[in-house]
Copies of this chain bind each other. A is one copy, B any other.
Amino acid sequence: MLIGVFLLLSMLTCSILTIGDEICIGQIVNSNAAWMAAQCTKIGCEVIKHVTVSDNENEIISELENLRTYSDFILITGGLGPTHDDITKKVLCSYFHDELIWHRPTLEWLEEFAHIRNRVLTDRNRQQALLPSKCSVLTNKNGTAPGMLFTDGGSNFVSMPGVPREMMYIMENHVLPLIEKIITENGYETNKYRTILTIGIAESDLADLIGDETLFLNENTSLAFLPSYKGVRLRIGVHNVHVNEADKLLDSIESYLYLKAGKYFFGKNDESIESVTVRLLKEQGATVSVAESCTGGKIGAAFTEIAGSSIYFIGGVLAYSNDVKVQELSVNAQDIEKYGAVSEQVARSMSEGVRKKLSTTYALSATGTAGPGGGTEEKPVGTVWISLATPKETITKRFIFGNDRTANRERTVGAAFDMLYRYLRSEEK
């Protein structure tokens, strides 16, 4: 039947159905759906839709009816636990007019699983081996509920537990290999994506810089702008092309974008401004310290979030009060009086002060008005001075962000890393 589907569709398609009250009412973020979608996209399977419904038989069945009309694979998670509110197995059984039978290999696995954990196999858990007769059972070595694959009328329905590591096991060992096999054997076309990371430029300015998209995009290629506090990501995509052409097409679009806006690029795909900055620090055998006012520790926290940071991150001073700025960082009290704590002079003294104090190659400082209060006519909320002290010079810049405190602090961290990153890159031989 998949051949039949192939004749109608140029790409293999899937939809993701998440079943569970806890997701529906927002108690849990649906990270399973994102993970499954990313895996399917990576192997060239087009994700059409994500749907979340509660543990309700009618809603589940009407979704199955709907999703099967345009999905080769319907990936279902949740509702396979041993408790009363887990109804997925029962619902699938009635949907496919099937009956539950004892599945010996699963029963043996349950006994082994209980034995490994020195537990007795309860009747409640033994029920996990009662499975629909028409499904292919997908083993789950990370838990007690196996996956179930039903193939019906050209659509493949896969039911998996909602526990992430159990769902991942079944996806990686059964579902993804099957999808890849079908794509290659039937010569489906594919979609492929690449994300280029930029920083230091606003979304609309970047769009203006890149200009008329008809000059480099066609009906098989796409460009999306994904803004964040730490720069705008450019996601280029190629669609419905043969798998061998995908990378060549992505390369050509990337080259074009580089010509237009390359100076704002800093990485690709899963990289971050923190990870690329730290990589350069390590390569150059450099160390760094921080002097933080408005960020209160967020820059240091970002450096140390990465494992192994003790190689390059020495420490810092949280100079939230002006007294600490003067006492610990040798900021000139007259400067604070004359120019204010949020000023070029103070930011510069902070970075130079902590660099000297902790004897590091580089030092970053930030002083600003994060908000919501504290803004003035000439220094509105969102005004931040960031300074980078280096062996050769000290660079200090003013930024004016928005009126959201959390966002302003996040943006300050991003801008500070951006300043250090650009300097380190310029130092590369």
In the complex the two chains form, is B227's CB within 8 Å of A402's CB?
Answer: no
In the complex the two chains form, is B26's CB within 8 Å of A33's CB?
Answer: yes
Q: Does A151 contact B (CB under 8 A)?
A: no
CB-contact partner of A82 in B207, B305, B318, under 8 A: B207
CB-contact partner of A85 in B51, B225, B290, B405, under 8 A: B225
Q: Which of A175-183, A244-252, A259-267, A319-327 contacts B (4 or more CB under 8 A)?
A: A319-327
User: A52 — which chain B residues lie within 8 A by C-beta?
Assistant: 33, 49-51
User: A30 — which chain B residues lie within 8 A by C-beta?
Assistant: 29-30, 33-34, 50
User: A104 — which chain B residues lie within 8 A by C-beta?
Assistant: none
Q: Does A328 contact B (CB under 8 A)?
A: yes
CB-contact partner of A125 in B204, B295, B309, B382, under 8 A: B204
Q: Does A142 contact B (CB under 8 A)?
A: yes
Nearest CB to that of A28 among chain B residues?
B34
Q: Distance in Å from the Cβ of A268 to the closest Cβ of chain B?
A: 13
Q: Distance in Å from the Cβ of A35 to the closest Cβ of chain B?
A: 7
User: A295 — which chain B residues lie within 8 A by C-beta?
Assistant: 301, 304
Q: Does A200 contact B (CB under 8 A)?
A: no
Contact code string A298-310 (vs B, CB < 8 Å = 1, else 0): 1111011101111
In the complex the two chains form, is A36's CB within 8 Å of B47's CB?
Answer: no
User: A320 — which chain B residues lie within 8 A by C-beta?
Assistant: 300, 304, 309-310, 313-315
Expressed in whole angstroms, the Cα–Cα distance for A195 and B26 within the complex equals 13
Expressed in whole angstroms, the Cα–Cα distance for A301 and B296 within the complex equals 5
Q: Does A101 contact B (CB under 8 A)?
A: no
Q: Does A41 contact B (CB under 8 A)?
A: yes
Q: Distance in Å from the Cβ of A202 to the closest Cβ of chain B?
A: 8
In the complex the two chains form, is B305's CB within 8 Å of A296's CB?
Answer: yes
Interface set of A (CB-CB < 8 Å, partner B): 18, 21-31, 33-41, 47-55, 59, 66, 81-85, 116-119, 122, 124-125, 141-142, 163, 165, 193, 195, 202-205, 207-208, 213, 222-227, 235, 237, 290, 292, 294-301, 303-305, 307-310, 313-321, 323-324, 328, 357-358, 370-373, 380, 382, 400-407, 409
Q: 10 extra interchain contacts, Cβ-Cβ under 8 A, other than A22-B235, A27-B193, A27-B195? A: A33-B52, A50-B51, A50-B52, A81-B203, A292-B297, A296-B304, A297-B301, A308-B373, A314-B320, A315-B321
- Can you report 8 residue pairs joining A to B where beta carbons are below 8 Å apart? A18-B50, A26-B36, A27-B38, A81-B225, A117-B402, A294-B304, A296-B300, A313-B320
